[in-house]
Homo-oligomer: A and B are copies of this chain.
Amino acid sequence: MTIALQERLDAQITFAMEIDKLKRIIRRNTLIDGSRRENDAEHSWHLGMMAMVMAEHAPPGTDLDKVVAMLLVHDIVEIDAGDTYIYDTVAVEGQAALEQAAADRIFGMLPEDQCRRMRALWDEFEERRTSEARFAKALDRLAPILANHHNEGGSWALNKVTARQVLEKVQIITEGSPALGEFAARLIESSVANGHLAP
C-alpha cells in the first residue's frame, strides 16, 4: 500500500470508529413493537431499506442509490448536536448552528474529497431542493408515523402532539411522494378515529 493510500485508510477508519457513536443517539419514538426508544443508527438503516422497497413511489427519474446514501448520512451530525424533536420549535431553531459545527468536525475527519461528498449529501438532504432529498425526507417523516400509529399514539401521546401538527409534517411527505403522503394521511385519520391522536 502506498503511504498516501495508507493515510487515507487511516482517516477512513478513524471516521468509521467515530460515527459508531450514532448508535447511542436516542430518538423520541420507539421501535415498532414499542419495546424501547430507537437510536439514530438503526433508524438510518431502516430508512435506507424503506427507500429500496418504496422506490416506485418516488417521482420518475429519482436516483434511488443517492437517496439511500443520503439517508445513511442524514443524522450523523446528531452525534454532536443531539436529536431534536420535530415538534419542539424552540430546540429546532438553535439546532442549525450546532449541526453545522458537527458536520465540520465529523465529516472533517475524512480525506478532503470525501469530506466534501458527505457534506454535499447532507446539505442536499437538508435543503430539500432535489427529488432525491424530498423523497428521503418523506421517508424520514413517515417512519415515526408508522411506529406511533402502531403503538396507540406512542410518542405523540407522550409529547401531547395533535393531528394538526402531524398533518403539517404530512405536507413534507406529500412533497416527496404523493402516494406516501396519501398513505400517511390515512394513518393519521385512523389514529384520530381510534382516540390515539388528539384532533
* Contact partners of A118 in chain B: CB under 8 A: 53
* Contact partners of A24 in chain B: CB under 8 A: 31, 33, 35
User: How many identical chains are in the complex?
Assistant: 2
Q: Indicate the size class of the contact surface on chain A.
A: 35 or more
* Contact partners of A101 in chain B: CB under 8 A: none
> Which applies to chain A's interface (DSSP): helix, strand, loop or mixed?
helix
Taking a contact as CB atoms under 8 Å apart, the answer to whether B52 and A17 are in contact is no
Which 8 pairs, one residue from A and one from B, show the smallest C-beta to C-beta distance? A45-B45, A65-B65, A41-B42, A20-B32, A42-B42, A23-B42, A41-B45, A12-B53
A-B CB contact pairs (8 Å), 6 listed: A9-B179, A24-B31, A41-B41, A48-B72, A49-B73, A52-B72
Residue numbers of A with Cβ under 8 A of B are 1, 5, 8-9, 12-13, 15-17, 19-24, 31-33, 35, 38-39, 41-42, 44-46, 48-50, 52-54, 56-57, 65, 68-69, 72-73, 110, 114, 118, 146-147, 150, 179-180, 182-183
